[in-house]
Amino acid sequence: MLPDQKLLRIPGPTPIPPSVKQAMSRPMIGHRSQEASELIQSIRPGLGPLFGTKEEVMIVTGSGTSGLETAVVNAAAPDDEVLVIVTGAFGDRFAKICEAYDLKTHRMDVEWGKAARPEQVEQYLKSHPDIRVVFATFCETSTGVLNPIGEIGKVVQHSSDALFVVDGVSAIGGVEANMDDWGVDIFVTGSQKALMLPAGLALIAVSERAWKKIESNPQHRFYLDLKKYKEKIEGNSTPFTPALSLLFGLRQVLELFEEEGLKQVFNRHKLMMNMTREAFRALQLPLFTSDQDASPTVTAVQPDRFSAEEFRQVIRKEFGLSVAGGQQDLKGQIFRVGHMGYSSPADVLQTISLVEIGLKTIGARFDFGQGVAAAQQVYTNWREQ
Amino acid sequence: MLPDQKLLRIPGPTPIPPSVKQAMSRPMIGHRSQEASELIQSIRPGLGPLFGTKEEVMIVTGSGTSGLETAVVNAAAPDDEVLVIVTGAFGDRFAKICEAYDLKTHRMDVEWGKAARPEQVEQYLKSHPDIRVVFATFCETSTGVLNPIGEIGKVVQHSSDALFVVDGVSAIGGVEANMDDWGVDIFVTGSQKALMLPAGLALIAVSERAWKKIESNPQHRFYLDLKKYKEKIEGNSTPFTPALSLLFGLRQVLELFEEEGLKQVFNRHKLMMNMTREAFRALQLPLFTSDQDASPTVTAVQPDRFSAEEFRQVIRKEFGLSVAGGQQDLKGQIFRVGHMGYSSPADVLQTISLVEIGLKTIGARFDFGQGVAAAQQVYTNWREQ
């Protein structure tokens, strides 16, 4: 509608804050310069708290998937038996990577839209004592489910000697994580979600236990060999040329987190989730996940009386408002609203007000303002706490 | 609330579109270079349509007020008798500039919040036949009034030989203007309102009739001498070093206008005005101007049950939402919401949804979503037309 205005409300990539854009447009520097070294040094201490770990976090230049592959080739030795907990398209991706390396891959498929249950994982591990790595997804972006990684981690620790590897791509930076307490051995995220950056960086936190295996793991790997990254980052450097403009941006992102306070960042995401869910509920649109399984970063809706695709097309064309559709089997069945990263309660209100107009346009019946009012009430209650 | 997010809804300066920001950050060039000359050449044809004139538009580097002073020192000769139609703080400013030059200044004061009536101007001119220049304000930013410049122009033409000078600062680019038809001799605007740029450029359109007087006007002036600007712009240049980054931005603004279509730009502003007014009406907040006198670019509200200042403070502090307060005698009496330039119906909905929460916070009673629903209905009706 307004040229130059894009309302990007997909579950990543997400909008970039102005100060981060500005930071990223600093003049380029040499990646072996003193300035680059200082840049990396300034970033390092801010990364651990995002994962809830005291360990060092590795920075790989690549998409989120490069981070997942890094986890696989470092955590799993050739011919390892592994378990992948698949709750959606990104669990499926973990499994496909494992299969590409000819690992003995067990899939524990969970109905899409539901979270994995720790008991189920426990049972699986007990009946498959040779599993060496367990892979799980924190926020399953394709369904808006947040898996109970803390509880699953406990179960993995108690029922096996397996390493526990978690995809935190659409959660880290928006949802509290406690890697060390939860017993996560490798925790991966990408830059383009709650971290408010363009895609291009994979961040990988690694436990002491995982390092032991990685050191002696004979799996073929070169660019994605975590040993190289560890050796270099301890000297404030990288093994290969890093995406420096993204590192400039990441430093500013960490400053924004510090300014707001991480606790408040996580609370803001929960608030946006609650506002979004109550709004859709008030509009009588079926939510795809239960309150218990819902992620603070993305909400999936499964409309029963209209086409999700027609709706998405209307709001994109009429208001420049982008929400995501369904993936794989859910294509055409759901739409997904992102509320993570550089996103505020004010943005949620704007999204809902436009969603309402879009719904009316395709014939839904309700009173204007109903969804907005529900979200306003959630926001107000939260502020009064 | 969210660091780095500012919701600027004052009647100027207004938010800058991303593509304009990007254009403004081009590498600096010499102001006498071929590139600068091509830049000015590319801008010239797009300016006239904003004012509704076939005449050339002068570009002065300075604030809006420098544009107003330019109009005064070029249109009025020393000791001229002039009439200033004062409908608010910016009419008052025109009068103060005239007085600073010791012109024989008549003020026609109109009650703030109301538009000037052409009959009143006619009467004044008939009883003061020596008036040589009439000054008026198109959109009076301090009250949200749009004066009927077309009708006043006709009256000035029929009842006098005076030049007609108009301050178009918070209107041009957001409200249709027909300078040539309306008989406006000098029409001034600034870059920081509906033109979506930072402050720093004054644009001044001048009629043939005005040029005749300007050529022989003995008034002291140097930087603001329009003759110098005319001579230079005809050769795609400027008499003094121009704000080149703003010119880069202006070129992009004109491209955005072309992309959207000027007619649609003006309709969008009317739509945003109607959405805003109906929302406040639904919330039972008294509008400061009548529908007939209302400007498409800014809406003033005069709350009768709470403090405008307390309300402004709450929404600024809690949501980063800035609206303007009252000026001069209206200080503390009104608040003013800007909806011009890089502003969409989606932004109006966001503003209203936050305004509602702010109102509840200071104790107003109404149902959440009421104002939003009214604005959504206006938008829907407009889209169905």
Based on the domain organization, do B243 and B276 belong to the same domain? no
Based on the domain organization, do B252 and B342 belong to the same domain? no
Residue B1 lies in a domain: no
Which CATH number covers residue B289?
Answer: 3.90.1150.10
Based on the domain organization, do A334 and A369 belong to the same domain? yes
Does any CB of chain A come closer than 8 Å to the CB of residue B152?
A: no
Report the distance separating Cα B269 and Cα B195, nearest Å: 12
Reduced to 3 states (helix: H, G, I; strand: E, B; else coil), residue A351 is: helix
Which CATH number covers residue B147?
Answer: 3.40.640.10
Does any CB of chain B come closer than 8 Å to the CB of residue A313?
A: no
Predicted-complex ipTM score: 0.89
> Which of A170, A174, A176 shows the shortest CA–CA distance to A193?
A170
What is the interface size between A and B, counted as CB pairs within 8 Å? 128
Does any CB of chain A come closer than 8 Å to the CB of residue B3?
A: yes
Does any CB of chain B come closer than 8 Å to the CB of residue A349?
A: yes
Out of B226, B258, B290, pick the residue that ends a domain. B258
Report the residue of chain A nearest B196, measured CA to CA: A4
Cβ atoms of A214 and A75 within 8 Å: the answer is yes
Sequence length of chain A is: 385
Query: Do B345 and A1 count as a contact with CB atoms less than 8 A apart?
Result: yes
DSSP secondary structure code for residue B329 in this structure: G
For the packed helices B244-260 and B262-282, what is the interaxial angle rounded to 10 degrees? 80
Provide mean pLDDT across the span B21-41. Answer: 95
Mean pLDDT across chain B: 97
Provide mean pLDDT across the span B339-368. Answer: 96
Within 8 A of A350 by CB-CB distance, chain B residues are 346-347, 349-350, 353
Based on the domain organization, do B24 and B70 belong to the same domain? yes
Does any CB of chain A come closer than 8 Å to the CB of residue B267?
A: no
Read off φ and ψ for residue A74, nearest 5 degrees. -95, -35
Out of B242, B258, B274, pick the residue that ends a domain. B258
For residue A255, give how far its alpha carbon lies from the nearest alpha carbon of chain B (Å): 10
DSSP character string of B40-101? HHHHHHHHHHHHT-SS-EEEEES-HHHHHHHHHHHH--TT-EEEEEESSHHHHHHHHHHHHT
Query: Do B2 and A319 count as a contact with CB atoms less than 8 A apart?
Result: no
> Which of B174, B178, B114, B181 shows the shortest CA–CA distance to B143?
B114
How does pLDDT run across B242-295, given as a tens digit for each residue?
999 999 999 999 999 999 999 999 999 999 999 999 999 999 999 999 999 999
Based on the domain organization, do B254 and B282 belong to the same domain? no
Residue A1 lies in a domain: no
pLDDT of residue A289: 98
Based on the domain organization, do A25 and A173 belong to the same domain? yes
pLDDT of residue A1: 74
A336 annotated to a ligand binding site:
yes
Query: Do A357 and B376 count as a contact with CB atoms less than 8 A apart?
Result: yes
Strand order in the sheet with A104-109: A57-62, A200-206, A186-190, A163-167, A131-137, A81-86, A104-109
pLDDT of residue A24: 96
Which whole-number Å values give the CA distances from A10 to A242, A306, A350, in the listed order? 27, 20, 14
For residue A264, give how far its alpha carbon lies from the nearest alpha carbon of chain B (Å): 10
Residue A301 lies in a domain: yes
Report the distance separating Cα B245 and Cα B39, nearest Å: 11
Out of A258, A283, A304, pick the residue that ends a domain. A258
Domain assignment of residue B205, given as a range: 18-258
Query: Do A346 and B369 count as a contact with CB atoms less than 8 A apart?
Result: no
Based on the domain organization, do B239 and B284 belong to the same domain? no
> Which of A9, A3, A39, A11 shows the shortest CA–CA distance to A237?
A39
Does any CB of chain A come closer than 8 Å to the CB of residue B18?
A: yes
Residue B332 lies in a domain: yes
Query: With bands split at pLDDT 50, 70 and 90, how would you rate the model's confidence at B1?
Result: confident
Report the residue of chain B nearest A321, measured CA to CA: B346
Does any CB of chain B come closer than 8 Å to the CB of residue A100?
A: no
At A13, list the tokens.
Answer: 């990539």
Within 8 A of A344 by CB-CB distance, chain B residues are 1-2, 5, 319
Residue type (1 letter), B238: T
How does pLDDT run across A213-247, given as a tens digit for each residue?
999 999 999 999 999 999 999 999 999 999 999 99
pLDDT of residue B276: 98
Which whole-number Å values give the CA distances from A163 to A76, A134, A136, B17, B61, in the listed order? 9, 6, 11, 48, 66
The total number of structural domains that make up chain B = 2
Query: Do B17 and A25 count as a contact with CB atoms less than 8 A apart?
Result: no
Report the distance separating Cα A349 and Cα B43, nearest Å: 38
Based on the domain organization, do A92 and A47 belong to the same domain? yes
Using alpha carbons only, how large is chain A's radius of gyration in Å? 21
b/e per residue B174-200 (b: at least 16 CB within 10 A) = bbbbebbebbbbbbbbbbbbbbbbbbb
DSSP secondary structure code for residue A159 in this structure: H
Report the residue of chain B nearest A366, measured CA to CA: B373
Query: Do B256 and A3 count as a contact with CB atoms less than 8 A apart?
Result: yes
Query: Do B346 and A5 count as a contact with CB atoms less than 8 A apart?
Result: yes
Query: With bands split at pLDDT 50, 70 and 90, how would you rate the model's confidence at B24?
Result: very high
Low pLDDT (below 50) residues in chain A: none
pLDDT of residue B385: 86
A residues 70-89 lying closer than 8 A (beta carbon) to B: none
Residue type (1 letter), B118: P
Residue A85 parent element (H or E): strand A81-86
Does any CB of chain A come closer than 8 Å to the CB of residue B383?
A: yes
At A140, list the tokens.
Answer: 């399953």
Based on the domain organization, do B127 and B25 belong to the same domain? yes
Report the residue of chain A nearest B257, measured CA to CA: A3
Does any CB of chain A come closer than 8 Å to the CB of residue B302?
A: no
Does any CB of chain B come closer than 8 Å to the CB of residue A357?
A: yes
Using alpha carbons only, how large is chain B's radius of gyration in Å? 21
Within 8 A of A20 by CB-CB distance, chain B residues are 4
Based on the domain organization, do A154 and A281 belong to the same domain? no
| Rounded (5°) CA angle B124-B128-B132 | 105
Based on the domain organization, do B194 and B95 belong to the same domain? yes
Residue written as token pair 């447009």? A25
Residue A199 lies in a domain: yes
Based on the domain organization, do A65 and A213 belong to the same domain? yes
- Choose, out of B321, B360, B376, B377, the residue to mutate when testing the contact with A (most A CBs < 10 Å): B376
Q: Which class for B318: exposed (0-12), middle (13-18), buried (19 or more C-beta within 10 A)?
A: middle
Residue B2 lies in a domain: no
Residue written as token pair 């030049």? B163
> Which of A274, A264, A199, A293 shows the shortest CA–CA distance to A10?
A199
